[in-house]
């Protein structure tokens, strides 16, 4: 078997897999074909034939019972007896009916009693069953023929046998006030064999248990020791109507089949023990075990050789890689030599080449890192020099505060207001996070508008309308200032009329913040409005570039909102020339907290 050591792993595994598949296919094919034939011949054919015979017998016997019941219910003496009030006449009719019932009973073997129950007076029976069946009249639907009522015990009557009860309502046939009204009920009490027949259907296959069940799952007859009139223990309605299935019953596995029996609204249930069903397959199973054992013995020798050829070099390779994993740089100088099949030899060669390359890359990395550290150091030095050349923001704050103080001393109220507002805006714009509450944003807008109202000599007024819920929302910093600035410079500045600016905010029913900035200024021409809407509908790039465009403020704010809160948010603009402009900003519910 030395040649196997030179084969690739793929070739060796193919040999093993092919051999295993062939063995499994032989076993599966042999077992499947044999078991299919045995199960079909010994179980399914028997059950299907037996069930068919039972159904045929039940249908035939019920038809006979129906005809006998119809003869009784349509009999003129019976109908006269049920409506007659004269006692003497009823007695004469009683004798005739008694002979009729006796003759009807003799026409069908298995009829234990016939009862005629009246809706007006006492009924007639042959063997005393009237007292048992009369209370069942309320269970019978109106206008039925040969209706199966159920199975009943009758005490000591009928040799203590259980009886099946069938009922037919009696309608009055003569013309008059009582025509077609129910005047009574005829009951037939029959033995189970009178319905199923006398055939011993357990003679072919004693291991399969067959039960004829009524609508209440009570046993009418069976080939087992279960008492007639009782329910199968451990079998529920769901189980009995489930069709072919495997169930566990009485701590054994059974193959169960069921078929409905419409004549009595019942079912026929067959149950075959799995072990008994497969007992004829023991010889086949023994043969298969012998074949499988011989095949495994034949595969054992090449299997062991192949496994050894695969594992021995791999174990050596794993041991060598474990040593390298410890991270000792001196161990990386070692190399491995493996003799074996093609793949393991290639792996050893490639591993050695990789270790050589690691040595080269390590040396190159050290040199590169040295250069990068030098470059980074120079860069940091340059940045430090640049920072030192910048004006300290605190110097600007202090300067604005100093101007404010001088304005107060000199009585220059407007200068004081403008410098203090400018100081607040400057500090707000460069400090803190990128998102703030709407309340803070509105305060900065108020400072900004103080400056603009002084600059424009109160040529416009400002109105604020915000709900408390809206003021608590998280929004991008400085998102309102460009909108308000556009309203002033493009709406109010080009015209001499007095302007009004409304800034509103509320939360809609979906929890979305809606902020609107409305002015009654100059408005926007249709072509320019369409250009602005097109730029707003363009997807955000994620980089807010400042370019010389009139709508750059709107575009930048729109892009910031979309990038932070989603594509469904952003800016919508409506404008009419000489009537004003409305800008609406939509922000999703507090998603800015995660931005």
Which of 27-31, 133-137, 291-295, 548-552 has the weakest average pLDDT? 548-552
Least confident of 50-64, 279-293, 491-505: 279-293
Q: Tell me how far apart the alpha carbons of residues 544 and 188 are, in angstroms, rounded to a whole number.
A: 96
**Residue 388 confidence (pLDDT):** 43
CATH number for the domain spanning 536: value is 3.30.565.10
CB 443 within 8 A of CB 401: no
Is residue 251 scored above 60 in pLDDT?
Answer: yes
Q: How far apart are CA 531 and CA 508, in angstroms?
A: 29
Please state, in angstroms and rounded to a whole number, the distance separating the CA atoms of residues 336 and 592.
58
Averaged pLDDT for residues 164-171: 90
**Domain boundary pick from 217, 249, 277:** 277
Give the span between the Cα atoms of 504 and 466, in whole angstroms: 5
Same domain, 551 and 524: yes
Range 152-158 contact pairs with CB under 8 angstroms and sequence separation of 24 or more: 152/189, 152/229, 153/229, 154/129, 154/189, 157/112, 157/113, 157/127, 157/128, 157/129, 157/132, 158/112, 158/113, 158/127, 158/129, 158/189, 158/191
Q: Are residues 149 and 270 in the same domain?
A: no
Which range (131-145, 379-393, 421-435, 567-581) has the least confidence? 379-393
- Same domain flag for 101 and 161: yes
Same domain, 510 and 548: yes
Q: Are residues 81 and 156 in the same domain?
A: yes
Query: Which is nearest to 187 in space by CA: 226, 146, 159?
Result: 146
Q: Is residue 30 part of a domain?
A: no
On whether residue 448 sits in a domain, the answer given is no
pLDDT of amino acid 280: 63
User: Could you tell me the CATH number of the domain that includes residue 261?
Assistant: 3.30.450.20
Do 575 and 489 sit in the same domain of this protein?
Answer: yes
SS3 string, 20-65, reads HHHHHHHHHHHHHHHHHHHHHHHHHHHHHHHHHHHHHHHHHHHHHH
Residues 97 and 152 placed together within one structural domain of the fold? yes
Mean pLDDT of the chain: 78
Domain that holds residue 141: 75-196
Which of 222, 257, 277 is at the close of a domain? Answer: 277
Structural domain ending residue among the three candidates 237, 260, 277: 277
Whether residues 517 and 581 fall in one domain: yes
Q: How far is CA 77 from CA 121, 128, 168, 186, in A?
A: 16, 21, 17, 14
Share of the chain above pLDDT 70, in %: 75
Instruction: Say yes or no: 558 and 483 in one domain.
Output: yes
Q: Is pLDDT of 275 > 70? A: no
Reported as a single tens digit per residue, the pLDDT across 445-477 is 998 898 888 888 888 999 999 999 999 999 988
Residues 587 and 467 occupy one common structural domain: yes
pTM equals: 0.45
Whether 391 maps to a domain, the answer reads no
What pLDDT band is residue 204 in, cutting at 50, 70 and 90? very low
Could you tell me if residue 219 is inside a domain?
A: yes
User: Do 87 and 176 lie in a common domain?
Assistant: yes
* Number of domains observed in the structure of the chain: 3
What CATH number is given to the structural domain containing 80? Answer: 3.30.450
The verdict on residue 387 lying in a domain is no
DSSP string, 297-351: HHHHHHHHHHHHHHHHHHHHHHHHHHHHHT--TTGGG------SSHHHHHHHHHH
Highest mean pLDDT pick, 342-356, 380-394, 450-464, 535-549: 450-464
């Amino acid at each position: 078997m030395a040649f196997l050591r030179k084969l690739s792993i793929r070739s060796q595994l193919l040999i093993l897999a092919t051999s295993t598949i062939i063995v499994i296919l032989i076993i599966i094919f042999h077992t499947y074909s044999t078991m299919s034939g045995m199960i079909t011949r010994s179980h399914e054919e028997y059950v299907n034939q037996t069930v068919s015979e039972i159904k045929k017998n039940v249908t035939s016997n019920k038809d006979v019972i129906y005809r006998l019941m119809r003869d009784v219910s349509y009999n003129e003496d019976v109908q006269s007896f049920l409506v007659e009030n004269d006692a003497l006449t009823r007695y004469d009719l009683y004798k005739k009916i008694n002979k009729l019932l006796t003759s009807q009973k003799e026409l069908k073997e298995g009829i234990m009693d016939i009862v005629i129950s009246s809706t007006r007076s006492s009924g007639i029976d042959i063997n005393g069953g009237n007292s048992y069946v009369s209370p069942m009249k309320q269970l019978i639907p109106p206008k039925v023929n040969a209706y199966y009522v159920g199975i009943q015990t009758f005490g000591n009557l009928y040799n203590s046998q259980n009886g099946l009860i069938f009922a037919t309502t009696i309608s009055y046939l003569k013309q008059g006030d009582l025509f077609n009204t129910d005047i009574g009920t005829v009951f037939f009490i029959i033995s189970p064999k009178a319905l199923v027949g006398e055939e011993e259907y357990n003679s072919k296959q004693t291991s399969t248990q067959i039960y004829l069940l009524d609508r209440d799952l009570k046993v009418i007859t069976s080939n087992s020791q279960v008492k007639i009139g009782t329910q199968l223990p451990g079998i529920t309605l769901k189980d009995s109507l489930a069709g072919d299935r495997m169930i566990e019953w009485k701590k054994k596995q059974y193959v169960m089949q069921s078929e409905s029996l419409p004549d009595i609204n019942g079912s026929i249930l067959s149950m075959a023990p799995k072990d008994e069903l497969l007992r004829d397959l023991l010889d086949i199973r023994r043969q298969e075990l012998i074949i499988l054992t011989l095949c495994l013995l034949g595969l054992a020798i090449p299997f062991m050789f192949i496994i050894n050829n695969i594992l021995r070099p791999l174990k050596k390779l794993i041991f060598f890689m474990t040593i390298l994993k410890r991270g000792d740089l001196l161990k990386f100088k070692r190399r491995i030599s493996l003799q074996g099949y093609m793949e393991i030899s290639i792996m050893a060669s490639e591993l050695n080449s990789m270790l050589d390359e690691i040595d080269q890359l390590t040396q190159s990395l050290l040199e590169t890192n040295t250069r990068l550290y030098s470059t980074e150091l120079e860069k940091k030095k340059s940045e430090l020099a640049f920072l030192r050349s910048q004006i300290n923001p605190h110097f600007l704050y202090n300067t604005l505060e100093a101007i404010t103080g001088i304005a107060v001393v000199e009585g220059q109220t407007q200068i004081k207001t403008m410098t203090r507002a400018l100081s607040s805006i400057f500090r707000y714009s460069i400090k803190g996070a990128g998102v703030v509450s709407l309340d803070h944003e509105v305060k900065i807008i108020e400072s900004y508008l103080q400056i603009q109202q002084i600059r424009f000599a109160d040529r416009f007024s400002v109105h604020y309308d915000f709900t408390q819920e809206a003021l608590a929302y998280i929004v991008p910093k400085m998102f309102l200032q460009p909108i308000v600035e556009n309203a002033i410079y493009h709406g109010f500045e080009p015209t001499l009329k007095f302007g009004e600016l409304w800034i509103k905010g509320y939360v809609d029913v979906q929890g979305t913040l809606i902020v609107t900035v409305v002015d009654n200024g100059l408005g926007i021409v249709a072509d320019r409005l369409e250009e602005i809407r097109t730029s707003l509908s363009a997807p955000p790039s994620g980089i807010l570039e400042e370019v010389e465009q009139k709508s750059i403020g709107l575009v930048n704010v729109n892009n910031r909102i979309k990038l932070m809160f989603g594509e469904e948010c952003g800016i919508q603009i409506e404008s009419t020339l000489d009537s004003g402009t409305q800008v609406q900003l939509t922000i999703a519910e507090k998603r800015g907290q995660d931005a």
